[in-house]
Amino acid sequence: MMNELLLSNDNKVIFLILDGLGDIPNPAFGLKTPLEAAKKPNMDGLAMKRGVLGRIIPVDIGITPGSGPGHLSLFGYDPQVHEIGRGVLEVLGLNMDLRDGDLAARANFCTIKEGLVTDRRAGRIPTSETERLCRTISSNIEKIEGCEVIIKPGKSHRFAVIFRGPDLADKLTDADPHKDNKPFVHTSAKAPEAEFAARVVNSFMEKVMDLLKAEPVANGALLRGFSCKPDIQPFTEKYAMKALAIATYPMYRGIAKVLGMDVKDEPADYDEAVSLLKKNYNDYQFFFFHVKETDLAGEDGNFEEKVQAIEAVDRFLPEITGLDPHALVITGDHSTPCPLKGHSWHPVPALVVTKTGETDGHAFHEKNCLVGSAGTIYSKDLMALALAHGGRLDKYGA
């Protein structure tokens, strides 16, 4: 139905996504959440003067989402219908040439001692180290059982891999224990047609461990999110809006590319990201502006760092609101509570800043969002709300 109501105009809609924004009351900090504890006069001022509050459920009640499903639902795609693997998102985010039939994987260097993965992130080694290690691997592993192996470094300990050859299927388990101090694991086929792919991937991992055995920290690699190129309706076609994505991390540029959004540059920092937004503001109607640091702090269980990440966004927020969009949505793709040190099923706080004069009159944090007038809705319905507030939906019926 919404397709029939879309209006063609130049009204602007901005999604400011603080990755992993949602949290839970922390006993060590007076039962506050980082969003509640943060000094954020700009965000709270918007909320109290012209914003409505609510909460979004990324996938379903009680379901903990990955970043892929979390973002898909933000943009109005049902993540239980459209499944996009992390591998595809990562390689597209790194501007790798992903072709039909390729098998993509998200990867990171790790520390292995006596068969145990003692540090899944290899101490978050600097990007320069990852670049060096990737050069070593690329020069020594070019093909496995006739399949070409293409790797590219990402940020810090992360990199991405493309396996290119015939008969590669993505029905594979993650080659990642997902927790520190767990045994190193190989991938296994979830369907008979993926047995060849499993053999290729496991051979690659063994070769990497052999090449890196003398490395003091990054002496192994973990691979996950095995996936092939999906078929999905482009965002521009779905919503009749030209869309631009601005993200400092590759995976989120990958999500945008899968959906057909434009991704012009890789900003080095948020000052540069804001400049990109301003520079391209007249040429697009929808903007996806991604912030990663809130999620990183949540995964590390670092309350103070998550507070600082929110406050950093608040400092450059006037640069965004100064553009005067018709609707500005500030939320996250999922919750990453500091006490849990990982993604969770908890609803995500959401603020919709509008021109209609509506307001709940409260500061922006989880406790106020619980009783906000926007209610608790599924993330996949957030786009409809944003489009309505953005003046981009016509009346239904006579």
First to last CA, the chain: 15
Indicate whether 85 pLDDT > 90: no
265: pLDDT strictly greater than 80:
no
Q: What angle do CA 341, 342, 348 make, to 5 degrees?
A: 115
Measure the CA–CA gap between 266 and 134, rounded to whole angstroms: 20
Residues whose CB is less than 8 angstroms from the CB of residue 395 and which lie 6 or more positions away in sequence, other chains included: 5
Q: Are 351 and 330 in contact (CB under 8 A)?
A: yes
Q: What is the percentage of the chain residues whose pLDDT exceeds 70? A: 100
- Residue 258 near residue 85, CB atoms below 8 Å: no
pLDDT of residue 237: 93
- DSSP tag of 396: P
DSSP annotation of 200: H
Residues 281-294 have pLDDT tens digits of: 999 999 999 999 99
- What are the backbone angles phi and psi of residue 163, rounded to the nearest 5°? -105, 125
Residue type, 48: M
The pLDDT, as a whole number, for residue 100 is 86
Mean pLDDT of 93-104: 90
CA 58/CA 69 separation, integer angstroms: 7
Distance CA 191, CA 193 (A): 6
Question: Using CB atoms within 10 A of its CB, is residue 139 exposed (0-12), middle (13-18) or buried (19+)?
Answer: exposed
CATH 3.40.720.10-classified regions of the chain: 2-84+232-389
Report DSSP state, residue 193. Answer: G
Q: In the chain, what's the furthest Cα-to-Cα distance?
A: 73
Task: Please list the residue range(s) of the chain that carry CATH number 3.30.70.
Answer: 89-227
Tell me the pTM: 0.79
Q: pLDDT tens digits, residue range 23-44? A: 999 999 999 999 999 999 999 9
Dist CA 142 CA 50 (whole Å):
56
Question: 147: closest CA among 189, 99, 185, 106?
Answer: 99
Chain center to CA of 180:
22
Residue 380's pLDDT is what?
Answer: 96
Q: Please report the pLDDT score of residue 311 as a whole number.
A: 98
pLDDT recorded at residue 228: 92
Could you give the CA distance from residue 198 to residue 277 in angstroms, rounded to a whole number? 42
How confident is residue 84, by pLDDT bands cut at 50, 70 and 90?
Answer: confident
* Predicted confidence (pLDDT) per residue in 365-396, tens digit: 999 999 999 999 999 999 999 999 999 999 99
**Cα 66 to the center of its chain, rounded Å:** 8
CATH 3.90.1750 fits 89-227, yes or no: no
* Confidence (pLDDT) at 86: 82
Do 365 and 22 touch, CB atoms closer than 8 A?
no
The domain made up of 2-84+232-389 has a fold known as Alkaline Phosphatase, subunit A (3.40.720)
The per-residue pLDDT for range 215-245, each reduced to its tens digit, is 999 999 999 999 998 888 999 999 999 999 9
